[in-house]
């Protein structure tokens, strides 16, 4: 028997400290997670508002189960789109102030579906170099020509827009970059798109619920409205549940509905979760204190890590990236924190650029200031231990 061709590939990943593993977590998510018999203080979830295990959402999901059952039974365009999905879809469009929305089962599926439905071979897509994998995959699958521009470099983007004759042009971007926490300059992007007759496909996975008045997201944060904008919001992060939506002008959303294979050929979203999301939207809008708490936690962390040997690039969002550099060093720092009861996973390429492996610290309104102090103390101890070894 010859050796499996996969063994060598796995060994190469192991050698480069790139092997990924599931961590098995016991019980619900939260700021404390039980893993391998240890209770850890965790800074790794995207549950920014602390809603994933909120009793009102659990109650709404439970009531939804009793009303609608567990499964949708078929895709949305057969019989899977129930009244509860329609009500949620309308509520989401109202929530972000756009004419119409379309529900997807995840953000990955929404991005792939929206881009492939809107852009076609012969069209041109302009994509920020640090965009999320789901946007990148949507661009590739659309078979449009894809032009990457350096992260946030609007001068480079403008040169590309000016120099590309394609009739249909799309600028695709994260609004809050998922591994750095920085914001795309939405007003400038919108005006560029309007000036060059391009469409902006904007992914607000980390802004929805977190930014703007009542957590209405990046459009509210910047006070932006544009006929040229197609918005993607995801519902598994700050909203605490699962799913995503695409929203924008009626005809653009209709084109996504007609063309998104990830919507057409996939079982509709579980109806009980759509019911839970209605409750989530109410809490997001009502609980301003959750966003105020996040801002206080961000400030506490940023002042706490000053003077440590790792760089913490500017970020006003709950995503705080501590840049370590090499993969093995990021893994070692993550292990050192874990030995001190704190869980912050290392993020490595290809999720981030080579040489920028990092601890992606993410904060939640469910954290306390003392939790952040515990993290900072663990980082200081790890830095001191590292200095003693060197
Ligand atoms: C998480 C994420 C997605 C994918 O959303 P899911 O609902 O988890 O599939 C899309 N875009 C960005 C920027 C993300 O961070």
- Distance (Å) from CA 52 to ligand 1 centroid: 16
**Domain presence at residue 378:** no
Is 43 in contact with 363 (CB distance < 8 Å)? yes
Confidence of residue 195 (pLDDT cuts 50, 70, 90): very high
Q: Tell me if residue 230 falls in helix, strand or coil.
A: strand
How far apart are the C-alpha atoms of 176 and 155, rounded to whole Å? 20
pTM of the entire structure?
0.96
pLDDT of residue 386: 85
CATH code: domain of residue 278: 3.40.640.10
| Residue 390 reports pLDDT greater than 80 | no
206 is catalytic: yes
Choose between 389 and 322: higher pLDDT.
322
Confidence of residue 4 (pLDDT cuts 50, 70, 90): confident
Please report, for residues 23, 28, 300, 360, 382, the alpha-carbon distance to residue 35 in angstroms, rounded to integers and kept in the order given.
7, 11, 27, 19, 21
pLDDT of residue 180: 95
Render pLDDT for 125-137 as a digit per residue (tens, 0 to 9): 999 999 999 999 9
Q: Are residues 173 and 201 in the same domain?
A: yes
How far apart are the C-alpha atoms of 292 and 56, rounded to whole Å? 21
Q: Are residues 118 and 232 in the same domain?
A: yes
Q: Are residues 282 and 296 in the same domain?
A: no
Q: Are residues 312 and 250 in the same domain?
A: no
Which of 132, 221, 237, 367 is catalytic? The answer is: 237
Q: Are residues 279 and 301 in the same domain?
A: no
- Distance (Å) from CA 338 to ligand 1 centroid: 26
How far apart are the C-alpha atoms of 213 and 329, rounded to whole Å? 39
- Give one DSSP letter per residue of 47-61, joined into a string: -TTS-TT-HHHHHHH
**Ligand 1 probe mutation, 131, 134, 318, most atoms within 8 A of CB:** 134
pLDDT of residue 2: 61
Query: Could you say which DSSP state residue 311 is in?
Result: B
**Ligand 1 probe mutation, 103, 112, 133, 205, most atoms within 8 A of CB:** 205
Task: Return the residue whose CA atom lies nearest to atom 5 of ligand 1.
Answer: 107
Q: Are residues 256 and 302 in the same domain?
A: no
Q: Are residues 294 and 265 in the same domain?
A: no
334 is catalytic: no
226 is catalytic: no
Q: Are residues 136 and 281 in the same domain?
A: yes
Task: Return the residue whose CA atom lies nearest to atom 12 of ligand 1.
Answer: 205
Which of 54, 81, 132, 206 is catalytic? The answer is: 206
Domain ranges, residue 318? 290-346
Render pLDDT for 255-264 as a digit per residue (tens, 0 to 9): 999 999 999 9
Render pLDDT for 296-321 as a digit per residue (tens, 0 to 9): 999 999 999 999 999 999 999 999 99
How far apart are the C-alpha atoms of 204 and 193, rounded to whole Å? 18
Those residues with Cβ within 8 angstroms of residue 307's Cβ, 6 or more apart along the chain or in another chain: none
**Domain presence at residue 355:** no
The mean predicted confidence, pLDDT, of the chain is: 96
How far apart are the C-alpha atoms of 58 and 204, rounded to whole Å? 25
Render pLDDT for 156-171 as a digit per residue (tens, 0 to 9): 999 999 999 999 999 9
Domain count along the chain: 2
Render pLDDT for 17-27 as a digit per residue (tens, 0 to 9): 888 888 889 98
Confidence of residue 41 (pLDDT cuts 50, 70, 90): very high
Q: Are residues 339 and 228 in the same domain?
A: no
Which of 178, 280, 334, 364 is catalytic? The answer is: 178
| Residue 1 reports pLDDT greater than 60 | no
Pocket of ligand 1 (CB under 6 A): 106-108, 111, 132, 134, 174, 178, 203, 205-206, 234, 236, 244
């Amino acid at each position: 028997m010859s050796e499996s061709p996969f063994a060598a590939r796995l060994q190469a990943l192991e050698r480069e400290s790139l092997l990924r593993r599931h961590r098995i977590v016991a019980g619900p998510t939260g700021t404390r997670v039980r893993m391998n018999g240890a209770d850890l203080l965790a800074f790794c979830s995207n549950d920014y508002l602390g809603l994933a295990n909120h009793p009102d959402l659990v109650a709404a999901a439970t009531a939804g189960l009793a009303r609608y059952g567990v499964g949708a039974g078929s895709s949305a365009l057969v019989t899977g789109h129930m009244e509860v999905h329609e009500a949620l879809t309308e509520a989401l469009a109202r929530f972000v102030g756009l004419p119409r929305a379309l529900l997807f089962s995840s953000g990955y599926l929404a991005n792939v579906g929206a881009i492939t439905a809107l852009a076609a071979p012969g069209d041109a897509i302009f994509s920020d170099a640090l965009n999320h994998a789901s946007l990148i995959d949507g661009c590739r699958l659309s078979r449009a020509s894809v032009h990457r521009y350096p992260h946030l470099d609007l001068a480079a983007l403008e040169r590309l827009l000016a120099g590309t004759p394609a009739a249909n042009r799309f600028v695709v971007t994260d609004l809050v970059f998922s591994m750095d926490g920085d914001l795309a300059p939405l007003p400038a992007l919108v005006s560029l798109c309007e000036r060059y007759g391009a469409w902006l496909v904007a992914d607000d996975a980390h802004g929805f619920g977190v930014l703007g008045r009542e957590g209405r997201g990046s459009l509210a944060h910047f006070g932006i409205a544009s006929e040229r904008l197609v918005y993607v919001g995801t519902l598994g992060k700050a909203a605490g549940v699962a799913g995503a939506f695409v929203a924008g002008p009626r005809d653009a959303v209709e084109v996504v509905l007609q063309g998104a294979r990830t919507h057409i050929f996939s079982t509709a979203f579980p109806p009980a979760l759509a019911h839970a999301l209605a409750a989530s939207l109410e809490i997001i809008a009502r609980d301003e204190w959750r966003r105020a708490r996040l801002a206080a936690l961000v400030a506490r962390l940023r002042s706490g890590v000053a003077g440590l040997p790792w760089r913490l690039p500017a970020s006003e969002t709950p995503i705080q990236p501590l840049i370590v550099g090499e993969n093995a060093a990021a893994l070692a720092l993550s292990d050192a924190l874990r030995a001190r009861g704190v869980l912050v996973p290392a993020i490595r390429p290809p999720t981030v650029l080579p040489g920028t492996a990092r601890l992606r610290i993410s904060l939640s309104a469910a954290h306390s200031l003392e939790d952040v102090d515990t993290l900072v103390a663990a980082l200081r101890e790890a830095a001191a231990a590292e200095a003693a070894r060197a």
